[in-house]
């Protein structure tokens, strides 16, 4: 089996670009990734592209060929869609394709355009990641679904809004030096607690923003990197995916995310590492409670014990296991279909040493990325390691 | 708006729920699910039968939704809840324990473990049918 390297990463500024088309956003990220990788565009064998709601936001389906031409590549191109895990799946399939020897170079990433829609239409658009018949028609929104999980968590295990506010404060602080982040200002715990409610117990600062943005990665085989003098010190050593029942009500437990447990187990086994080996993590904190659930699924904490991680300083930038040094979805932003690729890009920069927060994890060798779709009916976990 | 779509299986289930005759699909091993189903999602059995829902359910979690999409614009704030009715959990809007907009007041009126009945009422925004829980009589 061929080893897989991340040769280059590219991101757009995350934030509000209401006038910029999706194709322009993805082209920007892709060109930056090629420049970072030093890999010529003509060497790309396949494009794996993630997007969730482009048909709603831009009246644009069939986006993969459009993005291939925007990025200047001429190769088989496929769009992947698993809601907010779309790019995570696109990256995973790139890893599997390279490992299988079917391709030497895959361009993987994603794009989402969201701020051109009014907030209520984005809310409705995001809700289509839930079961239309039994959830959306019953009043479930995207924040509302995570609020249901938060109430269930507090009831089962304890904890409360102040614990979640510490997650928000941590991730906002981490985003301050990140040039790609949507919000680069600190949000103190008290400010988060005082913010207006969105879906109680979740308030404004428990929720990620609405974001435009794109991510791109140049994924190559180790042989390609060696043969073309491509500097690619970070390897993708583990990949795993999990799928659960679509509707939250049908889950085994309302305050756990078994799909992410499965994805993590598979990714760790694939890489031959365990949670204790992980030095740094980027997790899918679309809502503060989601970060807590991710920490538990990734095995950093037992179920019911992750709620205090930020408040206790374990996952802060100066803690034993820094989580979401990029700022996370929470502060860096969440262009849904791009997020999974963005997490790998940030983790690669952190491990290479060229991220503004790299000094926080100077000796880090193992990183984990956790990307989730819907209320974690889909989950993708990747393990990255410093190979050189 | 486009004409209401027809969803065979679901529409009949909603009609039955409105008539007080809600049901779950249950396989021989007792796994519950909601229609339309050809296969038990837990074990793969195709021997599914309609079993009446329990008279009352138990609230397992809830949220007070303040920001919603256009189809619920005039319903906010509303209490969204998941309640267990025997072999299935249902998701709906909890009415009759209406809060104000304050979490403390809501916590006084709704709690995990509350007993509720289920029926079908109208969405305030557009009159479309909505699965609604109400506090069970005498509770």
Residue A182 covered by a domain: no
Catalytic residue among A17, A284, A334, A382: A334
Residues A325-329 have a mean pLDDT of 98
What number of C-beta contacts closer than 8 Å exist between A and B?
111
Rama region for A242: left / alpha / beta (φ>0; ψ in -120 to 50; rest): beta
Mean pLDDT, chain A, integer: 97
What pLDDT shows up at residue A2?
A: 80
Domain of A15?
A: 4-117+209-382
Q: What is the CATH number of the domain that holds A69?
A: 3.40.47.10
Specify whether the CB–CB gap between A83 and A50 falls below 8 A. no
Residue A281 token pair: 């993590």
* Euclidean distance between CA atoms A336 and A377, whole angstroms: 15
Residues A239-266 have a mean pLDDT of 97
* Euclidean distance between CA atoms A8 and A107, whole angstroms: 10
User: pLDDT, tens digit, for every residue of A25-43?
Assistant: 999 999 999 999 999 999 9
Contacts of B101 in chain A (CB under 8 A): 197
Identity of the residue in B64, B69, B73 whose CB atom sits nearest the CB atom of A199: B64
Q: Does A143 touch chain B (CB under 8 A)?
A: yes
Residues A67-77 have a mean pLDDT of 98
Identity of the residue in B34, B78, B82 whose CB atom sits nearest the CB atom of A254: B82
User: pLDDT, tens digit, for every residue of B124-134?
Assistant: 999 999 999 99
Residue A285 covered by a domain: yes
Residue A190 covered by a domain: no
**Sequence-ordered alpha helix ranges (H) in chain A:** 22-37, 54-57, 63-71, 86-99, 119-127, 142-157, 161-175, 189-194, 222-227, 258-271, 288-297, 328-332, 339-352
Mutate one of A56, A139, A198 to test the B interface: name it (highest B CB count within 10 A). A139
What pLDDT shows up at residue B97?
A: 78
Residue A79 covered by a domain: yes
Residues A237-242 have a mean pLDDT of 98
What pLDDT shows up at residue B3?
A: 55
Residue A56 token pair: 């709603």
Residue A16 token pair: 């509000």
* Euclidean distance between CA atoms A210 and B88, whole angstroms: 34
- Whether the per-residue pLDDT at A209 is higher than 80: the answer is yes
* Euclidean distance between CA atoms A241 and A372, whole angstroms: 10
User: pLDDT, tens digit, for every residue of B78-123?
Assistant: 999 999 999 999 999 999 876 544 544 555 678 899 999 999 999 9
Q: Is A141–B65 a contact, with Cβ atoms under 8 angstroms apart?
A: yes
User: pLDDT, tens digit, for every residue of A353-382?
Assistant: 999 999 999 999 999 999 999 999 999 999
**Band of the pLDDT at B1, cuts 50, 70, 90?**
very low
Catalytic residue among A84, A166, A370, A382: A84
The closest of B130, B133, B9 to B59, measured between CA atoms, is B133
Residue A371 covered by a domain: yes
What pLDDT shows up at residue B107?
A: 56
Contact residues of B toward A, CB < 8 A:
7, 10, 33-34, 41, 60-73, 75, 78, 80-82, 88-93, 101, 103, 106, 112, 128, 130-131
* Euclidean distance between CA atoms A339 and A327, whole angstroms: 12
Domains of chain B by start residue, with CATH: 1-52 (no CATH), 54-139 (2.40.50)
User: pLDDT, tens digit, for every residue of B8-51?
Assistant: 999 999 999 999 999 999 999 999 999 999 999 999 999 999 99
Question: What percentage of residues in chain A have a pLDDT greater than 70?
Answer: 100
Residue A39 covered by a domain: yes
Catalytic residue at A286?
Answer: no
Q: Total structural domains in chain A?
A: 1
* Euclidean distance between CA atoms B42 and B130, whole angstroms: 27
Residue A146 covered by a domain: no
User: pLDDT, tens digit, for every residue of A104-152?
Assistant: 999 999 999 999 999 888 988 898 999 999 999 999 999 999 999 999 9
Residue A312 covered by a domain: yes
Beta bridge partners, A105, equal A220
**Interface predicted TM-score of the whole assembly (ipTM), two decimals:** 0.95
Catalytic residue at A334?
Answer: yes
Identity of the residue in A127, A134, A144 whose CB atom sits nearest the CB atom of B63: A144
Specify whether the CB–CB gap between A134 and B83 falls below 8 A. no
Residues A234-246 have a mean pLDDT of 98
- Whether the per-residue pLDDT at A1 is higher than 90: the answer is no
Contacts of A121 in chain B (CB under 8 A): 69-70
Q: Count of residues for chain A?
A: 388
Residue A207 token pair: 């929720």
């Amino acid at each position: 089996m061929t080893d897989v390297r991340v040769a280059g990463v590219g991101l757009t500024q995350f934030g509000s670009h209401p006038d910029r088309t999706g194709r322009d956003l993805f082209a920007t990220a892709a060109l930056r990734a090629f420049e970072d990788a030093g890999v010529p565009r003509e060497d790309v064998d396949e494009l794996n592209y993630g997007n969730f709601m482009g048909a709603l936001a831009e009246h644009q389906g069939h986006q993969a060929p459009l993005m291939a031409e925007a990025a200047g590549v001429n190769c088989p191109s496929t769009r992947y869609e698993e809601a907010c895990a779309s790019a995570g799946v696109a990256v995973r399939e790139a890893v599997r394709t390279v490992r299988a020897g079917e391709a030497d170079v895959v361009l993987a990433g994603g794009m989402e355009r969201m701020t051109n829609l009014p907030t209520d239409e984005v809310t409705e658009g995001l809700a289509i990641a839930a079961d239309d018949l039994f959830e959306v028609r019953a009043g479930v929104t995207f924040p509302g679904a995570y609020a249901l999980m938060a109430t269930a968590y507090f009831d089962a295990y304890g904890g409360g809004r102040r614990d979640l506010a510490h997650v928000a404060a941590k991730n906002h602080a981490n985003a301050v030096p990140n040039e790609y982040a949507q919000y680069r200002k600190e949000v103190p715990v008290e400010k988060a607690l005082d913010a207006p409610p969105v879906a109680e117990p979740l308030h404004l600062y428990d929720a990620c923003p609405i974001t435009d943005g794109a991510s791109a990665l140049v994924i190559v085989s180790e042989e390609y990197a060696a043969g073309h003098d491509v500097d690619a010190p970070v390897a993708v050593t583990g990949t795993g995916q999990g799928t659960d029942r679509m509707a939250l009500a049908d889950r085994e437990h309302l305050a756990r995310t078994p799909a992410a447990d499965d994805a993590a187990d598979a990714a760790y086994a694939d890489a031959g590492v365990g949670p204790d080996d992980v030095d740094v993590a980027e997790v899918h904190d679309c809502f503060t409670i989601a970060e807590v659930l991710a920490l538990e699924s990734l095995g950093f904490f037992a179920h019911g014990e992750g709620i205090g991680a930020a408040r206790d300083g374990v996952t802060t930038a100066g803690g034993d296991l820094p989580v979401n040094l990029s700022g996370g979805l929470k502060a860096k932003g969440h262009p849904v279909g791009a997020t999974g690729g963005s997490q790998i890009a940030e983790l690669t920069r952190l491990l290479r040493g060229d991220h503004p927060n790299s000094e926080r994890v100077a000796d880090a060798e193992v990183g984990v990325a956790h990307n989730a779709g819907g209320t974690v009916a889909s989950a993708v976990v990747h393990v990255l390691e410093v190979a050189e | 708006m486009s004409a209401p779509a027809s969803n065979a299986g679901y529409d009949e289930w909603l009609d039955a729920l409105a008539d007080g005759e809600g049901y779950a699909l249950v396989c021989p091993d007792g796994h519950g699910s909601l229609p339309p189903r050809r296969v038990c999602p837990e074990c793969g059995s195709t021997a599914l039968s309609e079993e009446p829902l329990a008279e009352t359910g138990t609230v397992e979690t809830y949220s007070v939704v303040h920001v919603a999409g256009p189809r619920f614009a005039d319903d906010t704030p509303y209490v969204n809840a998941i309640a267990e009715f025997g072999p299935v959990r249902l998701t709906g809007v909890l009415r009759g324990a209406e809060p104000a907009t304050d979490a403390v007041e809501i916590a006084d009126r709704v709690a995990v473990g509350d007993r509720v009945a289920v029926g079908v009422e109208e969405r305030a925004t557009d009159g479309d049918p909505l699965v609604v829980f109400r506090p069970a009589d005498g509770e």
